[in-house]
Amino acid sequence: MREVVITEEQIVLENGMNCLLRYYITVSEIFSGATLVFENYGIRVVMKKKERDADYLDEALAMNVTSSVGKIIELVFLLSKNKVTPMSLMDVVIDYI
């Protein structure tokens, strides 16, 4: 599986903590023997936050969402625009598809 960072968003949590949301598109390659047959695309969301001088990560992965490059790009920018966190990623993806 490969992944590419697409965009990042800054958010402030209810407790005032600043966090960084990073959105990735993941690529799973499907082979038949040595031949690449097609690719499936997914999304990974990582939230990085600082607490007491240490970095903490929350993350979620939705694999094999679509085989359409256009649809996955549309979805990742929709997630970013609405600042979807790892906790709600799967609910939003299920509603979207």
Starting at the edge strand found earlier in the chain, the sheet holding 18-32 runs 2-12, 18-32, 35-51, 54-66
Write the pLDDT tens digit of every residue in 11-20: 988 888 889 9
* pTM of the entire predicted model: 0.86
* pLDDT tens track for 15-51: 888 899 999 999 998 888 888 788 899 999 999 987 6
Say which residues have a Cβ less than 8 Å from residue 4's Cβ, sequence separation at least 6: 24, 25, 27
How far apart CA 93 and CA 97 sit, in angstroms, is: 6
Q: What is the DSSP letter of 86?
A: G
Those residues with Cβ within 8 angstroms of residue 30's Cβ, 6 or more apart along the chain or in another chain: 36, 37, 38, 39, 40
**Residue 52 DSSP SS3:** coil
Task: Count CB-CB contacts under 10 A for residue 18.
Answer: 11
Mean pLDDT (the chain, rounded): 90
What are the pLDDT digits (tens) for 41-86? 999 999 998 766 667 789 999 999 999 999 999 999 999 999 999 9
pLDDT at 47: 93
Tell me which residue has tokens 């999304």.
Answer: 43
